[in-house]
Amino acid sequence: MARQQLRLLNTPPPVWKLDEQTKAVGRRGLAQARAALAEADRRRADRAEQHTGRTNRSAA
């Protein structure tokens, strides 16, 4: 009993072009996410400092 294999079609890849408004929305979202992560990191360092009495932050 022979099985037939599906043939792949040679189609060009889709062209993705984002307009400037979409790019701006994405950049704002990334900036907000980075700020939230930085704030969470700062709060975690503050809690660790309060718990241990030592500073875990690097000098920046």
pLDDT at 21: 98
Q: Domain map of the chain by residue range?
A: 22-54
pLDDT band (50, 70, 90) for residue 51 = confident
pLDDT at 1: 57
The CA-CA-CA angle for residues 43, 37, 28, to 5°, reads 135
Q: What is the pLDDT of residues 3-40, one digit of tens each?
A: 788 888 888 888 889 999 999 999 999 999 999 999 99
Query: CA dist 48 to 12, 34, 36, 44, 57, Å?
Result: 53, 21, 18, 6, 10
